[in-house]
Amino acid sequence: MSDFEPKVVAFLCNWCSYGAADAAGASRKTHPANVRIVRVLCSGRIDPQFVVKAFAEGADGVMLLGCHPGDCNYRQGNVQARKRYFLLRRMLAQFGIAEERIVLDWVSAGESDKFVQLTSTMVDSVKSLGPLREISQ
């Protein structure tokens, strides 16, 4: 299992966390290549079905990254994302998916170092958990 490279899907808010990912790339900061980015308008628009589908399609981990509370471009989107996140973790546990396989965090456009650190930590964490067994859709 030492050669296992996890597949991580990261849903990024267009206004903040995607900007951090873009800045990290522009600055040539090294971050894991096995993190696949999905750009969404707001973290509050991430439907729980997107997360379930990501796992069903082979993701070993999922990240939800949005604007810091109080900085949401859509005012309450990140508050909604946080509520859904806690419900989603409980639901995923019923599928046998460990809560360490899904992460919610806040990253502003100016925090490219934080983006690199979060993605690297997530990949390392999921790598230590091993591959996720298949779940049915």
Q: Is the pLDDT of residue 44 over 80?
A: yes
Higher pLDDT, 122 or 2: 122
What are the residues facing 37 on neighbouring strands? Answer: 10
The answer to whether residues 71 and 108 touch, using CB atoms and an 8 Å cutoff, is yes
The answer to whether residues 54 and 48 touch, using CB atoms and an 8 Å cutoff, is no
CATH architecture of 8-129: 3-Layer(aba) Sandwich (3.40)
Map out the domains of the chain as residue ranges: 8-129
Q: What is the pTM of this model?
A: 0.93
At 2 the pLDDT is: 67
Q: What is the pLDDT of residues 106-129, one digit of tens each?
A: 999 999 999 999 999 999 999 999
If phi over 0 gives left and psi between -120 and 50 gives alpha, with beta otherwise, what is residue 35?
A: beta
Residues 6 or more apart whose CB falls under 8 angstroms from that of 19 comprise 108, 109, 110
The answer to whether residues 96 and 10 touch, using CB atoms and an 8 Å cutoff, is no
Distance of CA 129 to the CA centre of its chain: 16
Q: By mean pLDDT, which of 1-5, 7-11, 67-71, 86-90 is the weakest?
A: 1-5
Sign of the CA dihedral running 24, 26, 33, 9: positive
Say how far apart CA 137 and CA 95 lie, in whole Å: 11
